[in-house]
Structure 1
């Protein structure tokens, strides 16, 4: 987005300064992109506190999206007496949940475009809470796995809605940092979940451990009830102001009654669905998502889903280490530290890239420049996989495992934020649609690797396995390079579909 296109905006964004990401300045004044309306209900006009409370109500659901799935990865050994199965077989209980995050995210898109973000977010968290309670009390493996699969299906919405809510509430110069926080929240969840559950299982049985998870989802629902608000806003000239005061109005807004009554004029569910799949035909979306995100995230999901099996002593484990449950839990500090460092890195680096380009190109901005943020993290991800594989193969000190795993997770967040920021720049009115495909391709790869990771390591050894994974990640950087080179031409030739625009 190089220019302020609103008819009330008299300035072209010309790069006097980006001030470290704190605003675009022209003649000493911030230029707000997009321009807010005169309606106080416009999310762009909300106070700083209101915006960040609404944003905060989204974050617990983002943390819990993958948290709820990986929560059980440290419990496989404890579930053996209940299900009378070996840990590698019990680990398949999470594969359906990983896969169903993709369809769940795709289904959330037309609903949140038609009926609003808030009811989709609320029902997502409430229904996942119900499924978590079901998994806690499931009598057999089949029922437990079914509840886990539904957890993935219903719990995926926050990862899809997040990008749209950021677009709805924040201006161009604020978005990269909010995307970084949003990405951090759902990419640290897969490690924070098993870190916590690994300690709890030393004191409680696995069912009570799942009961604690129910408490976390109860907190997420409570945050939405207290601070959630609808960010979808009609910016058309003939819009009618909507009164949203009172408890009854808030309940209607929360459960979707208000969204149904206000849906007139918004794109229909079928219309959004067509645009959702039409968006996939745009090469400047397909290459960064399927062509890159799939291949860099699937190995990250594979590691967190199987690391307990590699580290546990025989007969439950298959690796050269004999970690206690507490030691396994403590090792999850490594990916969390890597993700935290990526948060700090992305918090300033993406804004630095954007500001520098605007200052050195006469105020012009090219979205493809965002993708330069992929390369540093991509290189570290390759190194991380190699170090992890060599450490497992030769039984090096656990620091090698931690360092390799941390680098891999730094890479995942670092690349995802840059790609998400790029897609929000080129699909500002289709943010939920683009986010759904990021989520879908991330989870498709993760679903596959759960089945192949353990046999691959058993047959070829960790060094070969993770070395091949590193080579695959290295190869698919061609998707990012191609998007940088041809993205501008592709955007001109294949513009975004317009049927699903909501503002």
Structure 2
């Protein structure tokens, strides 16, 4: 819906991208104030008059809060894949095989799923900021524990808890984006947030493998603890509470502490109270209980417009991506006589530039293409127009898997491996952004719940693939196995086709639960 300003000054402000307030007549002849932006379109959602409303924060304030979220999102997978390059050093210390030591990463990957699901009721009840703060603090503690672990069992336990508590930023990121940004801004911000946690699995082992040239595995993990310390510091300095109760604004005006995040001026004591969750606990009356949120979370999974694009599409897409990063060393490190490429550790580290470049290209692509779709189709068609972004990305990903498999099968230049891997990672981020933006549009009042299911299915796929990826390649050859993976992601795209065709009817027939905040 679009409206035009009646005042030339307001029109000029709108052209500059600034919000303006105009009086618009409705069908009954009454007038209502509406804020416009850029091309004269009405802002959605309409911000309140409160300066504490995150929608009213300045550009710098919004992006500093988003910046505080980014390190934790990157570290969620970064921390787990960081340890995938130290197995050879741990095995002789613990008198185990490399294959046995490698199993230490699997429980941590799996626990990201339930960890993300359980963080949602907490962030809906007590606020986003304390969940983010405690997630980073506890992840730091368990990373230090893994650094000094005396044996395999205690190391695996620390890594499992690290995965459980470190998953929160990947889940609450959608809520923070929803809380602070308007509809026309969200796809770009979701793209930035998704890029941060999808580049993490490659940036982690890249840095770790370089450090191992000069450090043992324990000092290497000490550096990882330092990264978590940095993330925690970013949350403390730049983080802020974005939870804002729009259903009770009159009460807000009579009470400075009606909900988490309400304050007239900054104070250190108030900031600490919000970080620790004290204020969130004290002001949680009237918000949904933990069981209410969890039941809504389960109910959402029965909605086909959420289940199909997450469980039947995102899971197989990310399954192969995580499988690739978990097994790439076994393809390139062995000498040519053993079927590998004989990469040195330095050369292996450099190979991680391929998926990182693919992810960054996808970030640039999504930054432009999602906005193009919104301008071109969203006004005339339904929210399912967002899903047009899926199809070109799927074709790139399928081609990447074929290139990777055929390169391995015929032992062609390693450049084919790099291009294939990068193309698959482009596919992953482009599709994650498209699906996330679509679900955020469909379920704007359940952003955290949606983020939890996106993370859950992504993790489930990544956890299962580690148990059969290598065996499949050994049994059938890389050409067939990676070719079949390409067929799988093309087939999975039909779940998106069904959602695009029937999504509008499904949303009408199976509405979302009542808003919680």
Identify whether the pair has TM-score above 0.5, normalized to the shorter chain: yes
Whether the aligned pair in 1 keeps the contact of 2:2 and 2:42 (CA below 8 Å) is no
In the alignment, which residue of structure 1 is the partner of 2:398?
382
In the alignment, which residue of structure 2 is the partner of 1:239?
251
Whether the aligned pair in 1 keeps the contact of 2:136 and 2:231 (CA below 8 Å) is yes
Is 1:79 aligned to residue 66 of structure 2?
Answer: no
Give the superposition deviation at 1:209: 0.5
In the alignment, which residue of structure 1 is the partner of 2:445?
429
Change (3 A) 1:331 1:31: same
Is 1:409 aligned to residue 436 of structure 2?
Answer: no
1:73-101 CA-partner distances (Å, limit 9, x unpaired) = 12222222222223222221111111111
Give distance in 1, aligned partners of 2:338 and 2:204: 23
1:354-383 CA-partner distances (Å, limit 9, x unpaired) = 10114xxxx445110000000111111111
In the alignment, which residue of structure 1 is the partner of 2:214?
203
More displaced stretch, 404-413 vs 241-250: 241-250
1:318-356 CA-partner distances (Å, limit 9, x unpaired) = 752211111111000000000010000000100001101
In the alignment, which residue of structure 1 is the partner of 2:370?
350
- The count of aligned residue pairs is 480
Structure 2 unmatched ranges of 5 or more:
4-21, 27-35, 258-262
Is 1:340 aligned to residue 356 of structure 2?
Answer: no
Is 1:501 aligned to residue 512 of structure 2?
Answer: no
Change (3 A) 1:147 1:314: farther
Give the superposition deviation at 1:454: 1.7
In the alignment, which residue of structure 2 is the partner of 1:149?
160
Please give the secondary structure, in 1, of the residue aligned with 2:104.
helix
Whether the aligned pair in 2 keeps the contact of 1:311 and 1:318 (CA below 8 Å) is no
More displaced stretch, 336-345 vs 29-38: 29-38
Whether the aligned pair in 1 keeps the contact of 2:335 and 2:343 (CA below 8 Å) is no
In the alignment, which residue of structure 1 is the partner of 2:171?
160
Whether the aligned pair in 1 keeps the contact of 2:2 and 2:40 (CA below 8 Å) is no
1:128-158 CA-partner distances (Å, limit 9, x unpaired) = 0011011111111111111111111100000
Whether the aligned pair in 2 keeps the contact of 1:80 and 1:86 (CA below 8 Å) is yes
TM-score under structure 2 normalisation? 0.90
Give distance in 1, aligned partners of 2:458 and 2:2: 32
TM-score under structure 1 normalisation? 0.92
Is 1:251 aligned to residue 262 of structure 2?
Answer: no
1:171-206 CA-partner distances (Å, limit 9, x unpaired) = 111111000100100000000111111100011011
In the alignment, which residue of structure 2 is the partner of 1:268?
289
Give the superposition deviation at 1:239: 2.9
Give distance in 2, aligned partners of 1:86 and 1:92: 10
In the alignment, which residue of structure 1 is the partner of 2:30?
none
Give the superposition deviation at 1:450: 1.0
Give distance in 2, aligned partners of 1:104 and 1:118: 16
Larger radius of gyration: 2
Indicate the structure whose relative CO is greater, using CA pairs within 8 Å and at least 6 residues apart: 1
Change (3 A) 1:466 1:472: same
In the alignment, which residue of structure 1 is the partner of 2:485?
469
Give distance in 1, aligned partners of 2:107 and 2:330: 19
Please give the secondary structure, in 1, of the residue aligned with 2:251.
coil
